[in-house]
Amino acid sequence: MQTDALLHLNLNRRGELSRRNFLQSAALGIGGSSLLSQFRLHAEELKKEGRSCILLWLAGAPSQMETWDPKPGTPNGGETKKIQTQSPGVEIAHYWPKIAAAMNEIAVIRAMTGKEAAHERGTYHLHTGHRMLGIEKFPHFGSVVARELGDPQSDIPNFVSIGQTLSSGFLGVQVAPFIIDRPGQLPDNVVNSTSDLRQRRRLALLSQQEAEFAKAGATELVKEQSELYQKANLMMTSPRLKAFQFDDEPAAMQEAYGKSQTGQGLLVARRLVEAGVPFVEVRSTGWDMHSSVFSSMARRAPEVDQGLSQLLLDLKQRGLLEKTLVLCMGEFGRTPKINARGPAPGRDHWVRNFNLLMAGAGIKGGQVIGKTDENGQEITEDPVQVDDLFQSMCKAMQMDADMELHTPVGRPVRLVDGGAVIKGLFG
């Protein structure tokens, strides 16, 4: 119990691990004991074909009718038109011409249905696979991937988020997201500002202090503290830190992704996957469009359209798409009925049906799964629950959806509590 409490000491008020606290916790060895042991036991089986996942999170909940399930010419359709994609018979909203040209790589899930219509609760549900019930804080799916597929000896984090995200919950700081704010720049607090000589002296002093601590009966704890400190030191000196920067990235490729925060974040995500990071989240904000939904879409969609389409192309050309799951989604959908809010109409929260995109990692592209009625209010074919989505994510990542995670009090819980792999999703 004490160890678990310590694991959470360095989480910020949002329950996330900051850049500074990542290094500090590693240097101090806070609460790493049980997790390090777990890592060692499973180190060999964790390395599964270099599978990775990139999650593009559209924070605020994008409208399904302005993304992948448009309803032009209906009472609820509004100003949105539809365009044909490269996949015959698959049509999406007109804001997404570049995604339309990449549709052969993409599966559109049009019949998602959820249970949480508040932003915080919906975000939690779609990141963890569990509803926000009880006192237990379930881990971000990325933290589970980091634990199962990451290299415990890696000199850079196994889970990186470009923008804020959820925490690792009861899995602790060892697999918490390493958060960066400025894509293309080296993360803060990872550059060693001291000379090599001074750094060696500091390490020697720490070693002396640890030796004294060990004599007092804490040998095992000291050993693991030392390992965690060395991991922090490795990160500071790692040549793989260049994955966070664009110094060796051609200007043409940077332009291809777009100079927006989202586009550059997706470029960093590709670079991190290439460097061996198994989970990267990129957050795009501004999708909570209670008003002015049509003009807002015209402003927000192009940067995602450009960045995501280029990511898929880039991954495929580099031979990475077949082992990289790409997800694009938000926490729920928006009302089919257009509201009357000023200064211009928008759409409110809607959980009954929404949509998302999946690509890579064995997923069959060029298809639509699920169907809604002509007004976009009801699912008429193949509804997909959140549990079904997480079952499918686990299959794509070659992870056991039935694996047991253990809470701080030792209670076993399944990674995914029910559901089934989405029928027809995989080729």
Q: Give 225-255 pLDDT, tens digit per residue.
A: 655 566 666 777 788 999 999 999 999 999 9
Query: Is residue 41 exposed (0-12), middle (13-18) or buried (19+ Cβ within 10 Å)?
Result: exposed
Name which residue leads in pLDDT, 204 or 247. 247
Percent with pLDDT over 70 in the chain: 80
Mean pLDDT in residue range 360-386: 98
pLDDT for residue 421 is more than 90? yes
Domain ranges of the chain: 2-414
pLDDT recorded at residue 8: 32
Specify whether the CB–CB gap between 128 and 116 falls below 8 A. no
Q: What is the pLDDT of residues 49-70, one digit of tens each?
A: 689 999 999 999 999 999 999 9
The third-level CATH classification (topology) of the domain covering 2-414 is Alkaline Phosphatase, subunit A (3.40.720)
pLDDT for residue 10 is more than 60? no
Tokens of 364: 């069959």
Specify whether the CB–CB gap between 28 and 43 falls below 8 A. no
Percent with pLDDT over 90 in the chain: 72
Tokens of 240: 């793989």
Q: What is the pLDDT of residues 297-311, one digit of tens each?
A: 999 999 999 999 999
pLDDT recorded at residue 236: 75
pLDDT for residue 37 is more than 60? no
pLDDT recorded at residue 186: 78
pLDDT recorded at residue 191: 63
Mean pLDDT in residue range 78-83: 98
pLDDT for residue 335 is more than 80? yes
Residue type, 416: V
**DSSP character string of 232-301:** HHHHHH-GGGGGGB-TTS-HHHHHHH-SSHHHHHHHHHHHHHHTT-SEEEEEE-----SS-HHHHHHHHH
pLDDT recorded at residue 30: 35
**DSSP character string of 213-245:** HHHTT-HHHHHHHHHHHHHHHHHHH-GGGGGGB
Give how far Cα 233 sits from Cα of 43, 208, 264, 317, Å: 21, 17, 27, 34
Looking at 280-422, list the stretches that DSSP marks H as alpha helix, in order from N- to C-terminal side: 293-317, 386-396
> Of the given ranges (36-40, 83-87, 131-135, 351-355), which has the lowest mean pLDDT?
36-40
What is the spatial distance between Cα 160 and Cα 254, in angstroms, rounded to a whole number?
Answer: 20
pLDDT for residue 91 is more than 90? yes
**Cβ-based neighbour number of residue 45 at 10 Å:** 9
Q: What is the pLDDT of residues 152-169, one digit of tens each?
A: 889 999 999 999 999 999
Q: What is the pLDDT of residues 117-165, one digit of tens each?
A: 999 999 999 999 999 988 889 999 999 999 999 998 899 999 999 999 9
pLDDT recorded at residue 291: 97
pLDDT recorded at residue 164: 96
pLDDT for residue 14 is more than 50? no
Mean pLDDT in residue range 286-298: 98
> Of the given ranges (57-61, 83-87, 187-191, 341-345), which has the lowest mean pLDDT?
187-191
pLDDT for residue 40 is more than 60? no
